[in-house]
Amino acid sequence: MSAAEELPNAAGLAYLASPYTHNDPGVRHLRYKEAERAMAWLMSQSIYAVSPIVACHELAIQHKLPFDAEYWSPWNSRLFFNCDRLIVLTIDGWKESKGIEQEQKWAFAMKMPVYRIIVSDVYMEGRGPDRSYLIQSI
């Protein structure tokens, strides 16, 4: 069974929440790359999603916009409220993320299905290191 078949309403639009804010620009960039990889995996599984981090990381850098969740919250909320489920990317920093905390509150208040993506490092014979993704319902 594919990941899309395991998610109810897989034909709708999911919101990918992931940690981002950090004082170190290198950490922000790594978090962006992790969200980008997760988005690519979701798309490969026919799970259509939006990610404010993937959409706005380069925009924030190029136009010197703030990197904090408070600044982006109004924009993120407009994306969020057009989605039918929340998927949380559980990479380093997700438990401390103020943005993810807010997005989970919105989801629970709306009784929106919430899922987690568990990321694992794997070694693929003949391909080297890679990522493995598992979706779990919360």
DSSP string, 73-112: HHHHHHHHTT-SEEEEE--TTTTT-HHHHHHHHHHHHHT-
Q: How confident is the model at residue 70 (pLDDT cuts 50, 70, 90)?
A: confident
pLDDT tens, residue by residue, 109-138: 999 999 999 988 765 566 655 678 888 888
Grade residue 69 by pLDDT with cuts at 50, 70 and 90.
confident
Q: Are 113 and 85 in contact (CB under 8 A)?
A: yes
Bridge partners of 48? none
Confidence band for 68, pLDDT divided at 50, 70 and 90: confident
Which pLDDT belongs to residue 124? 57
Strand partners, 87: 16, 115
Output the pLDDT for position 10. 62
Q: According to the model, what pLDDT value does residue 106 have?
A: 96
Residue 61, SS3 per DSSP? helix
Digit-coded pLDDT (tens) for 2-60: 565 566 556 789 999 999 999 999 999 999 999 999 999 999 999 999 999 999 989 98
Residue 128: the pLDDT is 59
Q: Domains of the chain: which residue ranges?
A: 3-137
Q: What pLDDT digit, counting tens, does each position of 73-110 carry?
A: 899 999 999 999 999 999 999 999 999 999 999 999 99
CATH superfamily of 3-137: Hypothetical protein PA1492 (3.40.50.10400)
